[in-house]
Structure 1
Amino acid sequence: MGIGQMNMLIFLPELALITMALVLFVATLGSWSFKRLYGLTMVMSATVVVCAVASWGQEGALFFGAYQVDDFSQLFKIFITMGLFAVLAMGEGLKGIETKLKPEYFLFVTLSSAGLVFLSSAVELITIFISLEVSSFALYVVIPFRKADGQHREQMEAGIKYVLFGAIASGISLFGMSYVFGITHTTYLADLVKVVPGLLATTPMLIAGMVLMLAGFFFKLAMFPMHFWAPDVYQGTANETAGFVATIPKAGAVALLIRFISLAQGTAIGDFNWMLAAFAVFSMVIGNLSALVQEDVKRLLAYSSIAHAGYVMVALLCVNVLGFSTAIYYIAGYMMMNIACFYVVYHLGQDGENVTLDNLAGLYKRSPLLALVLLVGAFGMAGIPPTVGFFGKFFIFNAAIQKSLYALVIITVINAGISAFYYLKLVRAAYSPVENPGNTLVVSKPASFLGMALMAAILLVGIFPQFFMEVAEKAVGTLM
């Protein structure tokens, strides 16, 4: 196979996403019917997934070594493209988006996904930063696209907060990168991994630079101390947009954190690890305690995402193959469970309005399918077997115990118990008997199929975790 052919094949998912974005850009210039545009978008999105799966197993480096294609990057590209397809399928009709902005919505969520795909292969600091900004800038535009309906201030406020926090996160990341570059004299991760482990124990300024750089990246994961934006943005933006923001960027953030935290492999547990452990604890505690008192479902899921970021960080702190593989398994499961919950929110909000716990009352009578999808998704998030959430948490506890992180395990177990209260509160609301449950909710056949597929995925990945853990371990093996 020639060099040109090889480069084309290893860059296939990116080329497919870029082509999709270009086609959607042309669509924004015309006056296509929404049905035609949506059908074309779904076909292109499915094609992107096929391209990502087809490129699995490819290896190579592009752009002078700044872009690395390996099993690790390709696995995350599969997650991101499948997540994009699921979110677009979930948002059938785009009920919460201004009619004139629907073509632009498809364009910008595609561009955001493309940035995350670039991020999963970026192995050089400037390339990483640019990829992160491509993803973020597209979302800055999309957040305020919600229908006004007398709530114009709410989505504008959400958009402004997301932009401001994103700008702050970018500044903190760049500031941290300047420290790392100044001390190590390189921006390539392959060179950093050779010098960072030795310098972490002797150079406090490098620890400060790494923490600042990672704190900026925590913005995508909605993790303490960059979590404040999440509740207001989730609540203020459209339901379909919140479903995107709550899921797909998390995969890109975990890929990024694994690459950076793997730089500390082989070092003793020191100040750097303990600072990240403190961030994990604060995320779990703040997220779970705040979620307990929420009535708005999207706001509850926002605080839930903050807590789950803490769980993922516990796995990352193991800094070994098992810990990183567990983080990959967990974030894949989290995406499925969260999309399932937002799937219910989207279909329950008939005109794109927010959904409260009161709106869930009697859901099992109005739509047995939506109630069942919510039950499976919420049970998974709570860690109830045999869902993927149960085994994800189990693997996190196992990995942390093997690294003797007993205090973190105890705190995580307590927080997992607290979280069960508000997840089960969602289920109880959906299955609570009421005298007048309201009109029957009609879910189209394609949407019904998506709901059943999400439930099957949450259960099957939980019942057969070994295969998926082996795939994750193979992917992580390219880093270690």
Structure 2
Amino acid sequence: MALGHEIYLAVVALVAFLASIACDKGCSPRKAMLVLSFGAVISSLLALGSHGELFEGTYRIDIFSQSFKVLISVGFFLAVALGGKLKGVEEEYSAEYYLFLTISVLGLTFMVSAMDLLTLYIALEVSSYSLYILVPLRKDNQNHTQVESAIKYVLFGAVASGVSLFGMSYLYGLAHTTSLATLYKVYPAIATEPMGLIALAMLFGSFFFKLALFPFHLWTPDVYQGASNETTAIVATLPKVGAVAVMIRLIAIGGGTEQFTFLLVVLAAFSMFYGNLAALAQTDLKRLLAFSSISHAGYMMAGILSNSVSGQAAATYYVSGYLIMNLALFFVINSLSKEGGNVTLEDLRGLHKRSPLLAFTLAAGAFGLAGIPPMAGFAGKLFVLTSAFEAKQMWLVIIGALNTAIAIYYYLKMVRAAYTPDPEAEEGEAVEISLGAKALGVLFIAAILTVGIIPGFFIEFFKHGL
């Protein structure tokens, strides 16, 4: 059944809604959501071979969209699993938390199959508004940072959505269609008009926001720091998977335009430099990962803007590895966090003695994001920079290589804090984690190594979808 996965997610959302009504205070549907989110992974895998177009071509189901639905579902399951008992969320809101998380995942699922501007916009808003609700659902603290973060996230998100909608209206006025399939054919004729380029750039606004690409990144550090650890893990990963899928579809509209490609190259370069340089001074791990995500958005764009099968497959591979490695680090943060609070570099001291598994998971994730072999991040950066080289974007290749060297410093700073001998810290309280959490840590390490050691398999699979 072509829509089987979407129907399954809708049923999960309905179950979460009923749980939010039926659950008394203190009741948490986490165990049920763990099973249901794993069911979403199975559902997406079963639907991997589905093909077809629905609603007169506005919704396309193919290997490309189904591959991204698998990634989104895997991220959904891991996000639920690493959340534990939702230490950072008020217990009375746990059922609502899972409800809006599921709705956001459903919106992302619709987004990657959308082949019409209006369908795309509605799916984007369904996903976005659910995340806006998750950010303030953090246990209250003296600084009320979750409220400030939520307001910033909503305001910047609303502006980005408005910019995209304005761009869509201009494209419709110029091309007289909202169908992406038709826009692929007619855009070259209107690309010579200044408004054609402006409209396309505005259309990308919401997806630059989701990707945290410069200059749509301003919300990122404050939202990451102010939201709960569980929510930040979701905001940092799942929307980026959806954004990469949509931008691969949209780049085909204007990817052959020299001016538009130059604009994307400039934004990618600024993202790499700004994100990495700002991350050097951070001590709060979530804030560090926020600036890190800005730089990674630049690498993803390096693959996307090549407008080639190999480049877009590289971008898909990159975001796949990014999803796993980031969630691995958030798993460590959540495990170390006391009462859902933020974790700093200081909290990592002596971790190799207090919890060897968490320390090794941290090292695997940090080495991967730094681009050190044999982790997934190394192959990801190699592939996206190779695609940029093939597209004759030499300056972007040089900038990407330089920024990889910069990033190694602050990622290794995390590992050094965890592994440097520190007798005082090592004598501190051991970090106790459940058997399920230990299994999840091993799973993260195995996944990061597997994706990094056999990248060719994944690249060929993603190429097949393109």
TM-score (structure 2 length as normaliser): 0.98
Q: Which runs of 5+ in 1 are unaligned?
A: 1-8
Partner SS for 2:338? coil
| TM-fit CA distance, 1:180 | 1.0
Deviations 1:95-152 (A, max 9, x none): 010011111001011111110000010110010000000001001111001101324x
Deviation at 1:215, TM superposition (A): 2.1
Deviations, residues 186-230 of structure 1 (Å, cap 9, x unaligned)? 100000000113432x12211111111112321111111110001
State the match for 1:3 in structure 2: none
Q: Is the CA contact 2:79–2:327 (under 8 Å) kept in the aligned structure 1? A: yes
- Would the aligned equivalents of 1:105 and 1:142 in 2 still touch at CA under 8 Å? yes
Q: Distance in 2 between matches of 1:199 and 1:173?
A: 18
1: distance between equivalents of 2:190 and 2:461? 32
For 1:80, the equivalent position in structure 2 comes to 72
Q: Is the 8 A contact 2:27 2:92 kept in 1?
A: no
Partner of 1:426: 414
Question: CA contact under 8 A between 1:140 and 1:163: conserved in structure 2?
Answer: yes
The separation in 1 between residues aligned to 2:392 and 2:424, in whole angstroms, is: 53
1:145-173 deviations in Å (ceiling 9; x for gaps): 1101324x200000000000011011100
Matches within 5 A, 1:39-188: 39-151=31-143, 153-188=144-179
Q: Which residue is 1:192 aligned to?
A: 183
The 1:293/1:456 distance shift into structure 2, 3 A limit, reads same
The 2-side partners of 1:171 and 1:209 are apart by: 12
Are the aligned partners of 1:364 and 1:430 in contact in 2 as well (CA < 8 Å)?
yes
Once residues 333 and 352 of structure 1 are traced to their aligned partners in structure 2, the CA distance between those partners, rounded to angstroms, is 26
* Cα deviation, residue 433, structure 1: 1.7
User: 1:261 and 1:34 mapped to 2: Cα distance?
Assistant: 47
- 2:433 corresponds in structure 1 to 443
- Displacement, 1:398? 1.2
Distance 2:153 2:269 in 1: 24
Residue 215 of structure 1 contacts residue 225 of structure 1 at CA under 8 Å; is this kept in 2?
A: no
C-alpha separation in 2, matches of 1:197 and 1:284: 30
Instruction: Read off the aligned partner of 2:405 and give its amino acid letter.
Output: G
Residue type of the partner of 2:15? V
- The answer to whether the aligner puts 1:18 opposite 2:10 as a matched pair is yes
Q: 8 Å contact 1:67–1:122 — kept in the other structure?
A: yes
Moved over 4 A (4+): 32-36
Q: Deviations over 1:406-457 (max 9, x none)?
A: 1110011111111111001110011122222220001111111111111111
| Aligned equivalent of 1:407 | 395
Residue 299 of structure 1 corresponds to which residue in structure 2? Answer: 287
Mark the CA change 1:471 to 1:179 in structure 2 (over 3 Å): closer, same or farther.
same
2:311 aligns with 323
CA distance in 2 between counterparts of 1:73 and 1:218 reads 20
* Contact kept? 2:37, 2:73, Cα under 8 Å: yes
Corresponding residue of 1:256: 246
Letter in 1 for 2:273: V
Q: Could you tell me how far 1:35 is from its partner in structure 2?
A: 7.2
How many pairs align? Answer: 464
Letter aligned with residue 189 of structure 1: L
Write the distance in 1 (CA, Å) between the matches of 2:187 and 2:407: 37
Aligned residue for 2:362?
374
- The question of whether the paired residues in 1 share the 8 Å contact of 2:161 and 2:205 is answered with no
Cα distance in 1 between the residues matched to 2:453 and 2:222: 35
Query: Residues of 1 paired with 2:188 and 2:463: CA distance?
Result: 22
Partner-residue secondary structure (3-state), 1:351 = coil
Cα offset for 1:12? 1.0
| Secondary structure class of the residue paired with 1:68 | strand
SS in 1 for 2:429: coil
SS at the partner of 2:424?
Answer: coil
Report the equivalent of 1:245.
235
Pick closer, same or farther for the CA change 1:456–1:32 going to 2, 3 Å.
farther
SS of match in other structure, 2:53 = strand
> Which residue does 2:385 correspond to in 1?
397
SS at 1:370 equivalent: helix
- Contact kept in structure 2, 1:224 and 1:306, CA below 8 Å: yes
Alignment RMSD: 1.1
What letter matches 1:39 in structure 2?
K
The correspondence for 2:200, drawn from 210, 219, 237, is 210
Q: Which amino acid aligns with 2:272?
A: M
Which of 218, 224, 227 is equivalent to 1:228? Answer: 218
Unaligned runs of 5+ in 2: none
